[in-house]
Amino acid sequence: MSQNTRTDYQIAQQQIFDSIIAGEFGIENREDLGPMVPIRLFQVLRMVAMGSNVEDMLGNGAPALVYHSGQGLGQAIGHIAVEKANNDIETYVGKIEQLCRQLSIGLVVPEKVDLSAGVLELRVDECVSCAGVHDVSAPICHFEAGMVGGIVKTFFGRNVRATETKCNAVGDKTCLIRVDLL
């Protein structure tokens, strides 16, 4: 395969991102079942296929893969929002909140934005990944942390470090993601 040829996964990714950018939530070939799926099915993909199964193969490398995947989605979402935000952080976050609600990722609420310190904290209530998951020993929403990191990175054009400091699955009632601008 030549280096310029896109893989099938990349082709599918492009179609999915294009659909999100266009705000298309209806899906062809799903006339009867519609565009929504049970949250538990998403969680199977996230926590089993991209979680424990990947962990079986990659061990401690699994969180990095999941974080990197989330960052890719965050950058895609960020590109949608940044075009409509006129370089205004409040408008940008507003667009992100709206998109995350539309996609049922979660209810994004800014907890702290301290640009002089280079720190942002975003809460994700009703997080799609860990809702209904309990008793884990450490935050497990690496995908969402990567996604928020990708979103912030896209706006500021700087590398970031995003870490989940609270997690519903640990018992915190919400997920809190701290982003440090590097």
Partner 1 sequence: MSNIHSIEFRRSHSGEIDSILRNLMSLQGVTAAAIIDSDGLVTHIHRDFEVNTDALGASVQIVFGAASKAARHVGHNLANMVICENTEGYILLAPVEAGFMLALVTEREALLGRVRFELKETIPVLKKLFVNFL
- In the complex with partner 1, the residue whose CB is nearer, 67 or 155, is 67
Contacts with partner 1 by CB under 8 A: the residue count is: 22
Query: What radius of gyration, in Å, describes the C-alpha atoms of the chain?
Result: 17
Tell me how long the chain is.
Answer: 182
Handedness of CA 80, 76, 173, 109 (dihedral sign): negative
Torsion sign, CA atoms 4, 10, 12, 18: negative
Residue type, 145: A
Query: Per-residue string for binding with partner 1, 30-69, x by CB under 8 A?
Result: --------------------------xxxxxxxxxx-xx-
Which C-beta is closer to partner 1: that of 125 or that of 172? 172
- Taking CA atoms, 68 is separated from 119, 146, 173, in Å, by 20, 6, 25
CB of 136 to partner 1, least distance (A): 15
Which residues lie below 8 Å from residue 106, measured CB to CB, with a gap of 6+? Answer: 100, 124, 125, 126, 127, 128, 144, 175
The distance of closest approach from Cβ of residue 41 to partner 1 in the complex, given in angstroms and rounded to an integer, is 25
The residue ranges of DSSP E strands in the chain, in sequence order, are 107-114, 119-125, 160-166, 175-181
Rounded to a whole number of angstroms, the minimum distance from the CB of residue 167 to partner 1 is 11
Spatial CA neighbour of 147 closest among 164, 135, 172: 164
Least distance to partner 1, CB of residue 66, Å? 9
Q: Which is nearer to partner 1, 130 or 160 (CB)?
A: 160
Q: Between residues 36 and 49, which has the closer beta carbon with respect to partner 1?
A: 49
Please tell me whether residue 163 binds partner 1 under the rule CB under 8 A.
yes
Based on CB atoms, which residue is closest to partner 1, 106 or 150? 150
Residues 95-154 that bind partner 1 (CB under 8 A): 142, 145-146
Binding site for partner 1 (CB under 8 A): 56-65, 67-68, 71, 142, 145-146, 159, 161, 163, 165, 178, 180
